[in-house]
Homo-oligomer: A and B are copies of this chain.
Amino acid sequence: MTTTALPLGPGQAVLAIDVGGTDTKAALFDSTGTMLGLSRTPTPLCGTGTADAVLHRVRELRMQFATDFPDVPPHALGMLAPGLVDDDRGIGVLSANLHWSNIPFTQLAQDLLRLPTTFSHDVRAAGEAEFRLGAGRGYQNLVVLVIGTGIAGSLFIDGHAYSAGGFAGEIGHAIVDPLGPVCVCGSRGCLEAIASAGAIARRYHDRTGIKPDGARDVLLRSHSGDPDAAAVWNEALDALAVSIAQLAAILAPEAIVIGGGLAQAGDALVVPLRERVDALLSFHRRPVLLPAMLGENAGLLGAALRARDLLDAKLIRTDVHA
Contacts and interface: CB of A to CB of B under 8 A. Distances in A.
Interface of A: 84, 94, 141, 153, 155, 157-158, 160, 162, 164-165, 167-171, 173-178, 183, 185-188, 190, 238, 242, 245-254, 280-285
A178 B175 contact: no
15 contacts: A153-B250, A164-B252, A164-B254, A165-B285, A167-B252, A167-B285, A169-B250, A170-B250, A173-B284, A174-B245, A175-B242, A176-B178, A187-B282, A190-B249, A246-B246
Contact of A250 (B238, B247, B252): B247
Contacts of A183: 282
A86 to B, nearest CB: 11
Contacts of A253: 164
A177 to B, nearest CB: 6
A314 to B, nearest CB: 22
State the copy count for this chain: 2
Given A158-B160, A164-B252, A171-B250, 19 more contacts: A141-B168, A155-B251, A157-B158, A157-B162, A164-B251, A167-B284, A167-B285, A168-B251, A170-B249, A171-B249, A174-B245, A174-B250, A175-B246, A175-B249, A176-B178, A178-B242, A183-B282, A188-B280, A247-B250
B251 A175 contact: no
A249 B171 CA distance: 6
Closest 7 CB pairs of A and B: A167-B252, A174-B249, A186-B282, A164-B252, A167-B285, A185-B282, A168-B252
A212 to B, nearest CB: 25
A246 B251 CA distance: 12
Contacts of A162: 157-158
Contacts of A248: 167
Nearest to A285: B167
A285 B246 CA distance: 19
A152 B248 CA distance: 14
A267 B318 CA distance: 53
Give the residue among A158, A183, A252, A254 with the most B Cβ atoms within 10 A: A252
Contacts of A177: 177-178
B252 A170 contact: yes
A250 B242 contact: no
Nearest to A160: B158
A141 B177 CA distance: 26
B84 A283 contact: yes
A235 B185 CA distance: 24
A252 to B, nearest CB: 3
Contacts of A173: 249, 282-284
A226 to B, nearest CB: 24
